Amino acid sequence: MSIRSAEDALAHPSMVEAMRRRIIKVVGSRITYTLNHEKTYNWADPEEWVRAVSVSWLIIDKEYPANRMKLEVSVPRRTPNRVPPQ
């Protein structure tokens, strides 16, 4: 199933179940995820439709624990350890 509109995303079976379980809530032009933390984003953004379906698929279909999932995580910058020449 391709996601071409907000209506497509809202009709996806995983999204329907995630909304029923109150993991995802869409109100007007905002979407709220209740995962490890609660975050709200712009539902009018097409990329958000894809993220919502992906998150709901992972939680509902693949049974990934919602309380272990985070969105928009900052990754610390790492520098490789230099191996001294031999």
15-56 per-position pLDDT tens digit? 999 999 999 999 999 999 999 999 999 999 999 999 999 999
Q: Which of 46, 69, 49 is nearest to 59 (CA)?
A: 69
Domain ranges of the chain: 6-68
Q: At what angle do helices 46-56 and 13-20 cross, to 10 degrees?
A: 80
State pTM to two decimals.
Answer: 0.83
Measured CA to CA, the distance from residue 29 to residue 82 in angstroms comes to 48
